[in-house]
Amino acid sequence: MYTITNLTQVADCNALLAWAGREKADLAFKKLSDERLTARFADTSQELDAVLQGVIAELAATETIIAVLPDGPTKDEAINKKTRLEYKKFLLETRRESYGVVALLEKEMDLARVNQEIVEVDTFIATIETHRDSL
C-alpha cells in the first residue's frame, strides 16, 4: 500500500510519525466540530420544518379569511398579515436550504469522510511504526 521500503532511517520514520500525529490531531478536531454541527443541524432542521408547517397553515387560514371579508380596514389588515406570513415563509424556506435536511445530510457526509480519513491515518501510523521497529 505504501512504499515504505524506501524508508531506511529511523529518523525518517519518526518525522513521518510526527507529521501523521499532527494530521490525526487536526482530523480529531474536525471530527469534533463536524459532530457538533451535525447535531445542531439535526435539531435546527426539525425545528424549521415544524415552524414552516405552522406558517403554511396560518397562511392558508389567512387566505380563506381574506376571501370572505368585505373590503375595508379588516380585510386590509388581513392582507398585510398575509404579506408578512409570505415573507416569513420565504425566510424559513431560505434558512431551510442552509440548515435543513439537505444541509444535515451534507454534514453527515463530511463527518463520515473525516472518520475514513482518521482510519487511513491510523493505518499509515501503524505501517510506519512496524517498519521503524524492523530497522
Q: Are the CB atoms for 128 and 6 separated by under 8 Å?
A: no
Average pLDDT of span 94-106: 83
Instruction: Tell me the pLDDT of the chain averaged across its residues.
Output: 94
Summarize pLDDT for 5-60 with one digit per residue, the tens.
999 999 999 999 999 999 999 999 999 999 998 998 888 888 888 999 999 999 99
The pLDDT score that the predictor gives to residue 46 is: 85
Average pLDDT of span 99-115: 90
The pLDDT score that the predictor gives to residue 101 is: 79
Show me where the domains of the chain are located.
Answer: 7-129
Residue 100 above 80 pLDDT?
Answer: no
Burial class (CB in 10 A: 0-12, 13-18, 19+), 30: middle
Summarize pLDDT for 65-99 with one digit per residue, the tens.
999 999 999 999 999 999 999 999 999 998 888 88
Residue 125 above 80 pLDDT?
Answer: yes
Give residue 66's Cα distance to chain centre: 40
The pLDDT score that the predictor gives to residue 99 is: 80
The pLDDT score that the predictor gives to residue 40 is: 87
Compute the residue count for the chain: 135
The pLDDT score that the predictor gives to residue 77 is: 96
The pLDDT score that the predictor gives to residue 24 is: 98
Cell numbers describing residue 68: 370572505
The pLDDT score that the predictor gives to residue 85 is: 97
Task: State the Cα–Cα distance between residues 45 and 103, nearest whole angstrom.
Answer: 9
SS3 for the chain is CCCHHHCCCHHHHHHHHHHHHHHHHHHHHHHHHHHHHHHHHHHHHHHHHHHHHHHHHHHHHHHHHHHHCCCCHHHHHHHHHHHHHHHHHHHHHHHHHHHCHHHHHHHHHHHHHHHHHHHHHHHHHHHHHHHHHHC
